[in-house]
Amino acid sequence: MSFSGTVKEELATLISPARHCQLAELASMLHFCGSTVDGGRHLCLNTENEAVVRKCFTIFRKTFNIENVVTGEKGRLLPDDGAETKVIQALHLIGRDRDAIALEDPVSSLLIKNSCCMRAYLRGAFLSIGSMSDPEKSYHLEFVCGCRPQAEQLTDIIHEFEIDARIIKRKKYHVVYIKEGAGIVDLLNVMGAHVSLMNLENLRIVKEMRNSVNRRVNCETANISKTVNAASKQIEDILLIRDKYGFDNLPDNLRQMAQVRLEYPDAALKELGGYLEPAVGKSGVNHRLRRLSEIADGIR
């Protein structure tokens, strides 16, 4: 199962004990996964997401004591008129047209006044239209909304928890997305997916450690390569001076430096300084090697 599927399975098992939170989550799932039949007069739930179906059934049973629920693109979700009317009124699903159910509108603000209800709304939204990439590859979580008002409401609610979320148009859809790993962790916490959160944090730690090791190795490799290249150039200059100019024509300090460098081609500058008589520091060695390089350039 994908990481996204694992998150949904965890969220599907979370049922808020408070009725107002159950209503908020049910409204969220119906707005994002529901539709209407018979000219907008009856509810329909058309989704292949088993987690959404199971949770809708559970909330209908707990909140409205409704057992007779049907899914499918053409059939009514609630065949009983009285039960359906009770659900429609409780979830404030009637729009401007008093005869039609309005699922394209945002969820009623009356259902998401409290922070706990906002959390429940986000759980329903992720179950219905949410997904996230494999965190071992990249950090990306998104909600694919059918219309702009729903995307804006969803974004506003995420912002209420100080999580950065943005909207982008993708073909006919409006996608609310989060790109930062920290933001995704915070959203999982808000929705109550604590097991998935811990798994994601473990993956983030391993990934960051791996990246840190790679950066350090790359840095050390670059430094070694730089040192080797510099030593090769110094030896090349010294050999040119020996063959074309002669060590006897060099000042004592430079002649000694040239001889020590040839004798210890792999030694670092600080180590080379210890072989000189008298010993000199790293800056002194660097200065002498630079003078030998200038002499070699003059010979060339």
Q: How would residue 97 be classed by pLDDT, with cut points 50, 70 and 90?
A: low
Domains and CATH numbers, the chain: 3-203 (3.10.28.10), 225-299 (no CATH)
Global pTM value: 0.71
| Spatial distance between the Cα atoms of 272 and 285, rounded to a whole number of angstroms | 7
| Beta strands 141-145 and 130-132, pairing class | antiparallel
Contact 191, 123 (CB under 8 A): yes
Phi and psi for 86 in degrees, rounded to 5? -65, -40
Q: What's the confidence (pLDDT) of residue 158?
A: 97
Closest to 58 in 3D by CA, of 13, 123, 120: 13
Q: What's the confidence (pLDDT) of residue 74?
A: 62
Judged against a pLDDT cut of 80, whether residue 195 lies above it is answered with yes
Q: Which two tokens stand for residue 35?
A: 């539709």
Q: Which helix (H) or strand (E) holds 11?
A: helix 3-12
Q: Which two tokens stand for residue 169?
A: 């148009």
Angle between helix 3-12 and 115-129 (nearest 10) = 130
Cis peptide before 149 (omega within 30 of 0): no
**Region at 92 (left for phi over 0; alpha for psi -120 to 50; beta for the rest):** left
| Spatial distance between the Cα atoms of 224 and 284, rounded to a whole number of angstroms | 21
Q: How would residue 192 be classed by pLDDT, with cut points 50, 70 and 90?
A: very high
Closest to 90 in 3D by CA, of 111, 115, 121: 111
Cβ burial, residue 111 (10 Å; 0-12/13-18/19+): buried
- Is the model more confident about 216 or about 118? 118
Across residues 81-103, what is the average pLDDT? 82
- CB-facing half-sphere around the CA of 165: CA atoms within 13 A: 26
Q: How would residue 99 be classed by pLDDT, with cut points 50, 70 and 90?
A: low
